[in-house]
């Protein structure tokens, strides 16, 4: 039996009282002890060591592969010049490649150092563009104030976006796409989860449209949005990208919501009937709390799918995000374009990992099993 301590309003609570309360509620079981932390340190250190070793091995293999491909490309170029222009020009090409001149540098898989330098260039470019934006805002502040007073639209900065700006655009696209997926998939999942007949009726629809390629969804959304926005001068690429992302990624949430609702403990449903709860109260008080863990499992999968299909969708829709950045660098073909594409690849992977971790911890937070453990 736990002890209850009642103190008069004017009497201070002592440290002994806190100890008694902590003991009665067994608060210590929620806090890590020094002994348990010491016991985990060797495992953490071992895991960190293995991770660092694997990263070092990855960088070594990358560097060796880059050097090998560089030499293959260089030899091929020298042989081609030798066959077409003679030995003298071939020697000039060999000397030019050995000097590291940009004009004759083989354009192949960049080395880790080149990718790092490209990331620094992208950050420096972002700082320059931000400075231009601030200067533009200062120059147009007075004009925009007059236009606002006259009820006219403000003059906005129309220069090219930086790499960081494109990252933010992609994150906004995924966020809007996730909201679209949530507001479509969860209500439909609840409705069909409550009725076996509806689940059977919708099953063919889900099975047919779930595997459809992002490219096809993009074309379908483009047809609809183009018709609905006839006569509008606004850029619809962001809207098309967000809707396409939502439609491509919503299926896991739809299926999991339906399964979660249909598998609610029948005892809970019977209690709701005994209490004569209305349909709204039954859903929000009984059905959803029981189905939330499965719903968030679906949302976690949806986030991963949304981030994966985003690049292809932005590339085709010409939305100014990471997909557009990768395609433009590929088309550009400059000597540092390959390195910038690798930078984008790491950024895409790292952000995808962070989004998955965020959804994982949210899923754990709403899991009843975790909360009651």
Kindly report the CATH number assigned to the domain that includes residue 171. 1.10.3720.10
User: Is residue 5 pLDDT above 80, yes or no?
Assistant: no
Predicted local confidence at residue 233, as pLDDT: 65
- Residue 366 maps to a domain: yes
- Residue 15 maps to a domain: no
Q: Say if residue 195 is in the same domain as residue 87.
A: no
User: Is residue 93 pLDDT above 80, yes or no?
Assistant: yes
Q: Say if residue 310 is in the same domain as residue 324.
A: yes
Quick: pLDDT tens for 28-51: 444 455 555 566 677 778 888 888
Predicted local confidence at residue 163, as pLDDT: 92
- Are 181 and 249 in contact, with CB atoms under 8 Å apart? yes
Predicted local confidence at residue 35, as pLDDT: 56
| Mean pLDDT value of segment 201-229 | 90
Higher confidence at residue 40 or residue 127?
127
Structure tokens at 241: 């990208």
Q: Say if residue 180 is in the same domain as residue 249.
A: yes
Predicted local confidence at residue 226, as pLDDT: 86
Predicted local confidence at residue 101, as pLDDT: 76
Confidence of residue 175 (pLDDT cuts 50, 70, 90): very high
Predicted local confidence at residue 7, as pLDDT: 45
User: Is residue 21 pLDDT above 90, yes or no?
Assistant: no
Structure tokens at 303: 């986030």
Confidence of residue 250 (pLDDT cuts 50, 70, 90): very high
- Mean pLDDT comparison of 120-129, 157-166, 269-278, highest-scoring range: 120-129
- Residue 13 maps to a domain: no
Predicted local confidence at residue 1, as pLDDT: 42
User: Is residue 16 pLDDT above 70, yes or no?
Assistant: no
Please report where in the chains the tokens 């409550």 appear, as a residue.
Answer: 194
Structure tokens at 265: 């403990």
Predicted local confidence at residue 54, as pLDDT: 93
Higher confidence at residue 325 or residue 18?
325
Q: Say if residue 137 is in the same domain as residue 194.
A: no
- Residue 69 maps to a domain: yes
Indicate the range of 211-220, 266-275, 302-311 predicted with least confidence: 266-275
- Residue 1 maps to a domain: no
**Is residue 309 helix, strand or coil?**
helix
| Mean pLDDT value of segment 92-116 | 85
Predicted local confidence at residue 22, as pLDDT: 44
Q: Say if residue 232 is in the same domain as residue 147.
A: no
Q: Say if residue 175 is in the same domain as residue 191.
A: yes
Domain boundary among 102, 120, 144: 102
Q: What is the mean pLDDT of the chain?
A: 82
Question: Which structural domain range is residue 58 located in?
Answer: 32-102
| Mean pLDDT value of segment 158-167 | 89
Q: Give the 3-state DSSP-derived string for 250-305, with helices as H, strands as E and coil as C.
A: CHHHHHHHHHHHHCCCHHHHHHHHHCCCCHHHHHHHHHHHHHHHHHHHHHHHHHHH
Total count of domains within the chain: 3
Query: What is the C-alpha separation between 296 and 289, in angstroms, rounded?
Result: 11
- Residue 248 maps to a domain: yes
Structure tokens at 148: 């606002």
Confidence of residue 227 (pLDDT cuts 50, 70, 90): confident
User: Is residue 15 pLDDT above 50, yes or no?
Assistant: no
- Residue 152 maps to a domain: yes
Q: Say if residue 150 is in the same domain as residue 168.
A: no
Distant-in-sequence, close-in-space partners of 94: CB < 8 Å, separation ≥ 6? 78
| Mean pLDDT value of segment 85-94 | 85
- Whether pTM > 0.75 for this model: the answer is yes
- Residue 12 maps to a domain: no
Q: Say if residue 204 is in the same domain as residue 140.
A: no
Q: Say if residue 198 is in the same domain as residue 331.
A: yes
Domain boundary among 77, 102, 127: 102
Quick: pLDDT tens for 323-342: 889 988 888 877 788 999 99
Predicted local confidence at residue 123, as pLDDT: 94
Indicate the range of 273-282, 296-305, 336-345 predicted with least confidence: 273-282
Q: Say if residue 146 is in the same domain as residue 183.
A: no
User: Is residue 140 pLDDT above 70, yes or no?
Assistant: yes
Q: Say if residue 334 is in the same domain as residue 272.
A: yes
Q: Say if residue 132 is in the same domain as residue 89.
A: no
- Are 177 and 249 in contact, with CB atoms under 8 Å apart? yes
């Amino acid at each position: 039996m736990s002890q209850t301590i009642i103190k008069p309003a004017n009497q201070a609570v002592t440290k002994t009282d806190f100890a008694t309360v902590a003991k009665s509620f067994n608060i210590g079981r929620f806090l890590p002890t020094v002994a348990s932390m010491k016991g985990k340190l060797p495992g953490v250190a071992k895991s960190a060591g293995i991770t660092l070793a694997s990263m070092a091995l990855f960088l070594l293999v990358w560097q060796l592969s880059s050097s090998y491909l560089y030499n293959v490309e260089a030899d091929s170029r020298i042989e081609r010049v030798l066959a077409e222009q003679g030995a003298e020009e071939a020697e000039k090409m060999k000397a030019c490649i050995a000097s590291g001149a940009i004009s004759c540098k083989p354009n192949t898989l960049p080395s880790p150092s080149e990718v790092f330098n490209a990331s620094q260039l992208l950050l420096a470019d972002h700082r320059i563009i931000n400075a231009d934006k601030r200067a533009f805002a200062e120059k147009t502040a007075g004009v925009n104030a007059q236009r606002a007073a006259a009820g006219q639209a403000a003059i906005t900065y129309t220069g090219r976006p930086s790499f960081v700006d494109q990252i933010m655009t992609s994150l906004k696209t995924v966020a809007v796409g996730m909201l679209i997926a949530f507001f479509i998939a969860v209500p439909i999942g609840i409705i069909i989860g409550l009725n076996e007949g509806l689940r059977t009726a919708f099953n063919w629809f889900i099975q047919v449209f779930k595997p459809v390629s992002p490219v096809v969804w993009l074309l379908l959304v483009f047809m609809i949005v183009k018709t609905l926005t006839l006569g509008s001068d606004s850029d619809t690429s962001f809207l098309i990208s967000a809707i396409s992302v939502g439609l491509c990624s919503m299926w896991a949430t739809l299926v999991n919501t339906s399964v979660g609702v249909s598998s609610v403990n029948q005892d809970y449903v019977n209690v709701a009937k005994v209490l004569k709860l209305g349909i709204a109260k039954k859903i929000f008080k009984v059905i959803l709390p029981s189905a939330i863990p499965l719903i968030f499992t679906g949302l976690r999968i949806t986030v991963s799918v949304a981030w994966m299909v985003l690049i292809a969708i932005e590339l085709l829709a010409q939305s100014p995000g990471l997909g557009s950045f990768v395609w433009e660098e590929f088309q550009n073909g400059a000597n540092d374009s390959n390195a910038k594409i690798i930078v984008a690849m790491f950024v895409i992977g790292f952000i995808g990992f962070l989004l998955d971790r965020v959804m994982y911890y949210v899923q754990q937070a709403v899991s009843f099993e975790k909360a009651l453990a």
